[in-house]
Each structure stands twice: as structure tokens, then as C-alpha cells.
Structure 1
Amino acid sequence: MFESVLIANRGEIAVRIAKTLRQMGIRSVVVASIPDRRGLAVRTADAWVLLEGYSAAESYLDVDAVIAAAKAEGCQAIHPGYGFLSERADFAERCAAEGITFIGPPPAVLRGMGDKAAARQLAIANDVPVVPGWDGDDDPETLVGEAASIGYPVMFKARGGGGGRGMREVFTAEDLPEAIESARREAIAAFGDGGLLLEKLVTNAHHVEVQVLADTHGNVIHLGERDCSVQRRHQKLIEESPSPVVDDALRERLTGYALKLARAINYVNAGTFEFLVSVPTETSSLPLSQARERGRGGEGPDVYFLEVNPRLQVEHPVTEMVTGLDLVELQLRIAAGEPLPLKQEDVQFSGHAIEFRINAEDPWDGFKPSSGRIDALSTGPVARADFGFAAGDTVPANYDSLLGKLIVDGRDRAAALETIEEAAHHVELHGPTTNLELLRRAVLHPDFALGAATVEWLEGCQEELLAAAPPQEHWAAAAASVAMLENTWWEFRPWKAAVWIGPGPTTIWLSDGQAVKRATVSRGRDGLLVAIADEETELRILEGNNQGFPAEITWRTNSESRPLVSVGKGDVGEGRPFLVRDEYGHESYQASAIYVVPPPPLPRRVHTAAEGATAITAPLAGTIAAVRVAEGDEVAEGQLLLVLEAMKMEHRITAPSAGVVKAVHVRERDVVREGDPLLELA
């Protein structure tokens, strides 16, 4: 076994790998860019090496620098994690030339499967069904012609890499040129490879993948399937195992395809074989066995092979939860030449697991990335938490938005759903805005509970999920609970927990992750009066314990007979979370997570345009990826002006109205802050 391993990655996966290395008694060394030099991965590993750069291209994608770090630290092997260099055949070859073991498939496999076009061709040669498409020359003229031949809608995909980067859906020929350029630009930035392929866009489908392990002794096994259908912009957000739409017959087909392809290419190490499972619309909410009973007949739904991710996946923990195996340890043992310690019949599956990917982004502001300092972070005892950051760390804007993952299991899917919601309520993360509340609302939706969430589902019901809000009584109960933390029911005094709460009635600002509301609390005849906007609610305490934390108070409103239970967690003050629920569960929205927040800041002063001109400012911090106009150009309303890249995602800046470009203040590769002037329209 290796004595020292270099981790060529960052964030949560670097921390995750380092923990297994420590458990195995192997020295861990992590590389870190300048923005990551004080991060949790650096603090977790036994040693670290600075990569002199800020962007991925200058640091984690610099093959020479990574190899030099491994040699300088005496590492016998390199674990690439996911993304970055994990699927680069040239990197694996360089490792071999330097006498360093690459923990992943051999270069020949990476060339055959890491390239999506090559993987498609291998599948076709082995009678594994694929989505109709084109994987030949990818010059713009050829792609335009092939798209017309396939028929719209179509999808572009980056040939190298994964994680949803470099993917674009196209519905009309007019949108094709910009989609090609945008997909290629993102693929180059993420993987250093701008190659594209084209496929027919398959709708009403589930994204189901099979985890495979193979050693150098010819042993190949699968560890079941995962469902990764809840996605936004092809980025997986919720994953589970087993899939709610896969029955035994379909599982046999999917795992059979995966093992067939793995053997055909002599696969080695961990890999994920991904498929689309297209479920008939009229039966999409039913388990597949029931769907066939409704008259579908045959082998079940259409299955299409998509690609192989020849590496560890972000969502690997759900497989670990249902099998009890450590995939990183198995990767290391395979790379060291050991045979797999178990055969297919030895793999035992137990229960159901669900994972949330917690990203630093604001769903209520167009999913704008949210970098900055994490003031507090705790995840409670309910879930496994794989995070790349801790309290006090700063989330850089240079890389993707993934902060960490919550993973739970249960005896069945219903139990796992209940546990993941409870786990979400235990998370206290103050600083960057996250998507956690959206994920919690998603698993509460009836469609998800039925297993009917396809790859288009989240974006289709996103508006509905974001619009859900706590009822007025929940806001009032949270405000009253805050006010009671330093009071007793028989003596009410204004709360003095923060300097921004002034004299007179207790004034508190609360947020549910979307709206911020101002509440005032005063003494009423029989309890407390809470005024929010123009609505006043009176609450009486039925019972409560405000000694120590968490504090729990049961309220009864004068207007309603049902009790409301408010549970507070953490220290008194800004960022304090309250979970408010209807004690008897009479409402459809049974629980609300409401936080104490500071008052909204005064409006920020921004660049003032010249008289008669409109100033276009940066909606978030990032790097200018493209400038589409020049001074003097006439533009139409909605026309693309600039492309801003932040946290590996592209954001299109369009014209708010027709006009003439009066001034352009930025160039490609300029780094801008939120609110910086970009251009002016007259």
C-alpha cells in the first residue's frame, strides 16, 4: 500500500479523500491554489503544497505543477478526485512516466470512456442503446447541419469532463451559434478541452447511473444504481439510492449494460455508467412494475446510455450508505494492485439513502453565486456531512459553488425523506446564501414523494417551490419566541440581544431564506402582540422552556385553535434559526425554518451613467468571459451584451431596452465586483 498520496483537488472531495487516507494510515498531501491556501482541505491533510495561481487553469489544471508537488513531497500516488484532471488521459500518462500511480482508470480507458464521443461509439459496437446524435467533426458548420438532420430540440455536450459543464439545450436554429460558442468556452474553462458532441434532447426521463468497481485481476462488480434526476442546468442537486423508478427487471438491464461495457474496455478502478430512463408520461408517477401493469408491456421504458464518468462521483456517498463500503478505500486498494475484497454476491444493499448538494447560490435571486466568509456552520447529529468549508472560511468566487453535502439513510425511502428534512433543519450556515431551503421544499413536494421527478422537473416547478412561504402565524411565533428568550411569561421586557434593536417595542428582522420581514413585539392583554406589515397576531404561551438551548415554546393564536411549536437553536442573536411547526400537522406547510437577520442594508451607491444614459452594472462578482458589443453599436431589447463567469457558471447580461452603446467599461478577462459598471446605453 502507498505511504503518501497527493490529492489533486480542492473543497469537499479533498477533505473526504484525506479522511479515508488518515483512517488507512496513509500520509495525505493536498495542493491548494492561492484562494484555497487557508481552506479546510489544507487544514485536514497532513501536508500541503501551494499552486501559484488563482484560476483553475493556473492551478489545479497545471499538470507540471501538480506532478512537481507530488515528487517534492515523495508521494507514490495521486488521487484526482472529480473534475479538474480526473479524466485526463494525458495526465494519467504523465503520472506513469514519472513513476507515480494514478488512482483511476488507465490512460487507454480514459481515452475510450472519458471522451463522450468514444464512449458512444463503444456502446453502439456492444449493442447498448444510445441517444440519437452526432459524435464526429465538431466544427460549427458540421454541427449546424447535423442539428438540422437530428431535429430540434438538441443538446450540446462537452466531450471531455462532466458535472454538467459545457452542456447547452437548443430549441431553434437561431440559437445554435451562440450555444456552440458558449458550450465550447465553458468546456475549455472547466476541462481544458473544447470538443463537443450533439444529441437529441430526450424529455420526461430519469437520470439513473450504475456504480461499477473493477480491479486489475479481471474482477468487475456493480454497487447498484443511483437516481440523479433533480437537476438545474444539468447540475445534479438531489441524489438517492436506490432509484424510485427502477424495479428488479430494469435494474438487471441497467447493471447488465454497465458491466458489459466495463468488460469490453477492460475497465479498472471506480466508474459510473450513466443512463436516461424515459418513462411514459401517463405512468411517470408510478413504479415501473406498476406502469407495465397499466398496459405498457414489453421490457419497460426506453433506456439510453449517456456516458461513463471514469472517476469518483460527487454523489458516491449514497452508494456508501446503502452498501456500507468506502469507495475511496476501494479505489486506493485497486490502484495498489490488490484484488477486490468482495464478489458480486457479497454486495449487500440495505435501506435507502438521499443526498443534498448544498451550493453557495441564491435561488431567490436567479441562483446568483454567493461567495464570502462563512460566519457559522454546524450540521447537527442527524446526517453525514461532507463539507469543504468550516466556520471562519471564505468561499472563493474562482471555482464552483459546492459547499458540501448532507447524506442520510433510512430503512426505506419514506424514512429517508423524513430524515433528510429533519437534517436540513439542523443545518446552521450563516454567511453565503445557499440553496438548502429549496432542496428541502423539493423533497416535500408530492411529485418527488411519488418518484415522478424527471430531469426537467425542478426547473418546471421551480417557481412554485420558490413561492412557497411560511404562513403569517409561523412568522409571528418565531418573532414572539425571540422576544421571550430573555423573558418569562409573566414579565415581558424588550429584547436586548443586538444593538440594532432599538428602544420601545422589541423590533426584530426575520427571514425564511427568501423574504425579510420586520416584526415588532409588545405586551398584549393575554400574551404578546406581534405586528408584521399591517397584520397583527396575538399569541399566548401554552407551555415553554426558555432555559438553555434549544428553547421550545408552544403558542396558541387567539384566532385559531391549533397550537404552534417554536424550537430555537444556537446562541441568541443574529442568524439564530427557529423551526416553527403546527403541533397537530393540520396545514400542508407543516414546518417553517425562520432566521433572525440584521435589518436590510441601505441601498448601495453605484456608478452613475452620463445624462440620458442607462448604466449596466455587474449583478455579481466574477470574470468577464465575453463582450458582444462595442461603443456605437445599436442593440435591441434582450440582446446579449456581455457574458459574466462566476463560480464556473456563465451569466448572460442582456439589454434592458433598445438603444445605442454609449460606453463599454470592461474587456474580456477583467475581474469585476458586484455593482461595478460594465457599459452604458443611450
Structure 2
Amino acid sequence: MFQKVLVANRGEIAVRIIEACHALGIQAVAVYSTVDEHASFVKLADESVCIGTGSASESYLNREAVLMAGIIKQCDAVHPGYGFLSEDPLFAQMVAECKMTWIGPQSELIKEFADKESSRRWAEERNVPTIPGSELITSTENLLVQAKQIGFPLLIKASFGGGGKGIRCIESMDELVPEFKSVQQEATASFGVSPVYLEKDLSDARHIEVQVLGQHNVIYNLGTRNCSLQLHRQKVVEESPADLTTEQQAELDQLVHRLLDDTHYNNLGTVEFLFADNHFYFLEMNTRLQVEHGVTEETTGLDIVQMQIKVAADVNLKLVPITFKQHAIEVRLSALTPGTLSKFTWPDKDVRVDTGMQVGDQVTAYYDPLIAKIIVTGSSRSEAVEKLQSVLDNVEVLGIKTNLDTLKTISKNDQFINGTYDIDSLSKMF
């Protein structure tokens, strides 16, 4: 087992990783920007290193600064969390070259799946259905030709996008060129690259994902999640398990194995699909921990972050078949404005709250606005929904504007209560 792990992230996921390290008897080293000097994750870590100013490009995205912190503190592994450098194959390779273990899959597989256009080709070669779309767009003329072939509505997507960034829904030809340029600019600012492609926008679709773990060339299916409740292509509510028939579950499992078997995929990952017209279409493969991993932990009883660390340390997990006896729902509480968090309280039972925030913390415009993930679990979905409604009514946040009222409205919406929503439901609701 590792002696010391560098946590190459911030906020709630850094807290989550540090807690997992401590549970395994491992020391955790935090890296932080000047903005995060007094943050919870820095205080929780055994050691910490300042790696730059508030701008992510000058701190959490600075590969050399992060690696130097690990070398200075004599870390023997690096956990990237999600976002930032978590799906950067070059960074994963650099970690290995610096004689530290990357807590994640192989860099060559990260590279294959991080490029969404490349991952689509991978899926097609393995006979996994994909959403109709284009190759990478090379010019404005090529953009117009491809768009006419696919038809509207369609999506413009950054090939290295994620977290809802670098995606636009286009309804007509008039919007196409301006939004194409907008996506290029957003992708360049967020991910450092700007190739884009087009994809058919499927209506009445559900966003279904499968949590997988690979070890010793065996792919384990840790359950499904329904992540269809999204605003601006960003997930707001996630549930586990997804509401699928036995036949649909079996088909999904088959598609996952078709995609990943014999790849020697080693560590955690998530395969995402759109489900429309009773068909599953491969969307993308995320080679990292997901924001919504907590709902899978609640339904399986597994500590997924600890499992990541153990797999990277080559500890044989010897997983037994998993039974799913509970239903879990997570909502993302996010800030709508910068400011100082003057109060943040929630009920002391029937809820799990993953957060990196504490009273007195500054919410800045530098990073993702996530304040906390609020997770409830019930013996049935209806019980989980009732718990969520009760918990949200008793959450109080002061000092900044948040989406709490939106979350309350969603929890009491008939479509949500009945589980009949799709990826367009929230856009119509608000």
C-alpha cells in the first residue's frame, strides 16, 4: 500500500480523497492555490504545498507545479479526482516518469477516450451503437456540409469537452457558425484544445451511465445511474440505480463488456449512454471518478475512492456479485454568485453531504460553483424522493445566492416524483 498520496485537486473531491487515504492509513498531501490557502481540504491534509495563484491555469492545471509538489513531498502516488488534470494522458504519463503511481487507468486508454471523436470510432469498431454525427470539423465550409447531412436539431461538441462545457444545441442554420466559434473559444479556454464535431440531438432521451471498475483484465459492473436531469447540459440530479427493465440491464451490460473487454482497463471508469427509442447509444467514456459516484456508493455499500487506491496499489479486490437493495438520489447544490458563505446547515440525519465548504469560505469565480452534493437513500425510490424533499426544506444557505430553490422545485415536480423525466425536462420546466 502507498505511504503518501498527492491529491491533485481541490474542494469537496479533495476532501473525499483525503478521507479515503486516512481510512487506509495513508498520508495525504494537498496542493492549493493562493485563493484556497484556508480551505477545508488544505486543513484536513497531512501536508500541503502552494502551487500558484487563483487562476486554474496557473495552479491546478499546471502539470509541472503539481508534479514538483509530489516530488518535494516524496509522494508515491497521485490521485487526480475529477476535472482539472484527471483525464490528461500527458499528465498521467508524467506522473509515471516521475516514479509515482497514477491512481487511474493507463495513459494510453485515457488518451483514447478523452478525445470524444476518437472514442466514438473506438465504440463503432467494437460494434457499440453511437449517435449519428460527423468527423472533426476542419473548416466553416465543412461545418455547413456536415450540418446539412445530419439535420437539425444538432449538437456542436468540443472533442475534449466535459462537465457541460463545449456543447451547444443548434436549432437552425442561422445559429450554426456563431455557435461553432463560441464552442471553439470555450473549449480552448477550458481544455486548451478546440477541435469540434457535430452530433444529432436525440429527443426524449435519457442519460444512463454505468459505473465500471477494471482489474486484472476483468471488468466489473458496479451499477447504473440516471443522470438525465440537466440544465445547459450540466447534471443537476443523479439517481442510482437507473429505472431499466431486466432486458435493458442485460443489453447495457453486454455493450459495456463489448467496449472494454480485453483492454486491460485498470481502475475506475464510467461508460455513458443516451437511451432513446428503446435503443442505447454510446455517448462517452470517462476514465476517472465521477462527481456522482456517491449514489453508487450508497446503493452498493462500496467505498469507490478506496477501491481506486487499492487497484492502483495492485491489491486484489476479489469482488463478489453486488446486490442493489437501496435507491439513492443526489442533487448538486451550486452557487449562482460569488460571495462569503455565512451560514450552511442541513439536517443531522437521513442525508449524506459531501462538501469542501465551511462557514466563512469565499465562493470565487475561479472554479466550479459546486458547494455540496446532497445525497439521500431509501429502501425504494419513493422513499428516497420523500427524504429528498424533507432534507431540502431544511437546508439553509446564507451569504450567497444558490440553486437551492431550483432543487426544491425539482424535488416536488410530478415528472421527477413519477420518474418520467428525460434530458430536456429541466429546460422545459425552467
Question: Which TM-score applies when normalising by structure 1?
Answer: 0.62
Q: Which amino acid aligns with 1:224?
A: G
The residue number in structure 2 matching 1:61 is 61
Pairing of 1:41-440 with structure 2 (within 5 A): 41-215=41-215, 217-244=216-243, 246-279=244-277, 301-343=278-320, 346-361=321-336, 370-381=337-348, 382-440=350-408
The residue number in structure 2 matching 1:630 is none
Q: Is the 8 A contact 2:127 2:258 kept in 1?
A: no
Q: Is the 8 A contact 1:222 1:259 kept in 2?
A: no
1:25 and 1:425 mapped to 2: Cα distance? Answer: 38
RMSD between aligned residues: 1.3
Over 3 Å counting, the alpha-carbon distance change for 1:61 and 1:333 in structure 2 is same
Over 3 Å counting, the alpha-carbon distance change for 1:457 and 1:176 in structure 2 is same
Larger Rg: 1
Over 3 Å counting, the alpha-carbon distance change for 1:168 and 1:33 in structure 2 is same
Q: Is the 8 A contact 1:138 1:197 kept in 2?
A: no
Q: Over residues 230-257 of structure 1, what are the superposed CA-to-partner deviations in whole Å (9 max), with x where a residue is unaligned?
A: 000000000001113x111111111221
Q: Over residues 379-406 of structure 1, what are the superposed CA-to-partner deviations in whole Å (9 max), with x where a residue is unaligned?
A: 2223100011011111111111111110
Q: Over residues 422-456 of structure 1, what are the superposed CA-to-partner deviations in whole Å (9 max), with x where a residue is unaligned?
A: 11122222111111221121121111122111100
1:264 and 1:190 mapped to 2: Cα distance? Answer: 33
Q: Is the 8 A contact 2:156 2:197 kept in 1?
A: yes
Q: Is the 8 A contact 1:163 1:235 kept in 2?
A: yes
Q: Which amino acid aligns with 1:112?
A: E
2:40 and 2:139 mapped to 1: Cα distance? Answer: 42
Shift of 1:43: 1.4
Q: Over residues 330-370 of structure 1, what are the superposed CA-to-partner deviations in whole Å (9 max), with x where a residue is unaligned?
A: 10011111223304xx2121210000100002xxxxxxxx1
2:420 aligned with 1:443, yes or no?
no
1:163 and 1:258 mapped to 2: Cα distance? Answer: 22
Shift of 1:3: 0.7
Pairing of 1:568-607 with structure 2 (within 5 A): none
Name the SS for the 2:35 alignment partner: coil
1:81 and 1:308 mapped to 2: Cα distance? Answer: 16
Name the SS for the 2:57 alignment partner: coil
1:460 and 1:258 mapped to 2: Cα distance? Answer: 31
Which deviates more, 263-272 or 220-229?
263-272
Name the SS for the 2:118 alignment partner: helix
Q: Is the 8 A contact 1:15 1:44 kept in 2?
A: yes
Q: Which amino acid aligns with 2:280?
A: V
2:149 and 2:176 mapped to 1: Cα distance? Answer: 14
Shift of 1:161: 4.3
Please state which structure has a larger fraction of its residues in helix.
Answer: 2
Over 3 Å counting, the alpha-carbon distance change for 1:171 and 1:384 in structure 2 is same
The residue number in structure 1 matching 2:429 is 461
Q: Over residues 400-429 of structure 1, what are the superposed CA-to-partner deviations in whole Å (9 max), with x where a residue is unaligned?
A: 111111001000000000111111122222
2:396 and 2:118 mapped to 1: Cα distance? Answer: 44
Gaps of 5+ in 1: 280-300, 362-369, 463-682
Q: Which runs of 4+ in 1 moved over 6 A?
A: none
Name the SS for the 1:130 alignment partner: coil
1:260 and 1:412 mapped to 2: Cα distance? Answer: 31
Over 3 Å counting, the alpha-carbon distance change for 1:70 and 1:139 in structure 2 is farther
Identity of aligned residues (%): 40
Shift of 1:144: 2.6
Over 3 Å counting, the alpha-carbon distance change for 1:223 and 1:402 in structure 2 is same
Query: Aligned residue pairs: how many?
Result: 429
Q: Is the 8 A contact 2:217 2:262 kept in 1?
A: no
2:301 and 2:259 mapped to 1: Cα distance? Answer: 25
Q: Is the 8 A contact 1:231 1:237 kept in 2?
A: yes
Name the SS for the 1:349 alignment partner: coil
Q: Is the 8 A contact 2:217 2:263 kept in 1?
A: no
Name the SS for the 1:51 alignment partner: strand
1:276 and 1:408 mapped to 2: Cα distance? Answer: 25
Q: Is the 8 A contact 2:152 2:171 kept in 1?
A: yes
Q: Is the 8 A contact 1:442 1:448 kept in 2?
A: yes
Q: Over residues 99-120 of structure 1, what are the superposed CA-to-partner deviations in whole Å (9 max), with x where a residue is unaligned?
A: 1111111111011112111110
Q: Is the 8 A contact 2:218 2:261 kept in 1?
A: no
Q: Is the 8 A contact 2:339 2:363 kept in 1?
A: yes
1:135 and 1:110 mapped to 2: Cα distance? Answer: 20
1:86 and 1:359 mapped to 2: Cα distance? Answer: 21
Shift of 1:266: 2.9
Name the SS for the 1:265 alignment partner: coil
1:55 and 1:178 mapped to 2: Cα distance? Answer: 27
Q: Over residues 118-149 of structure 1, what are the superposed CA-to-partner deviations in whole Å (9 max), with x where a residue is unaligned?
A: 11001111111110001334443322321121
Which deviates more, 198-207 or 157-166?
157-166
1:190 and 1:156 mapped to 2: Cα distance? Answer: 16
Over 3 Å counting, the alpha-carbon distance change for 1:31 and 1:141 in structure 2 is farther
Over 3 Å counting, the alpha-carbon distance change for 1:161 and 1:270 in structure 2 is farther
Q: Which amino acid aligns with 2:237?
A: I
Q: Which amino acid aligns with 1:347?
A: I
2:195 and 2:39 mapped to 1: Cα distance? Answer: 33
Q: Is the 8 A contact 2:334 2:369 kept in 1?
A: yes
Gaps of 5+ in 2: none
1:138 and 1:226 mapped to 2: Cα distance? Answer: 35
1:351 and 1:191 mapped to 2: Cα distance? Answer: 37
2:70 and 2:131 mapped to 1: Cα distance? Answer: 40
Name the SS for the 1:432 alignment partner: coil
1:220 and 1:265 mapped to 2: Cα distance? Answer: 9
Shift of 1:214: 0.3
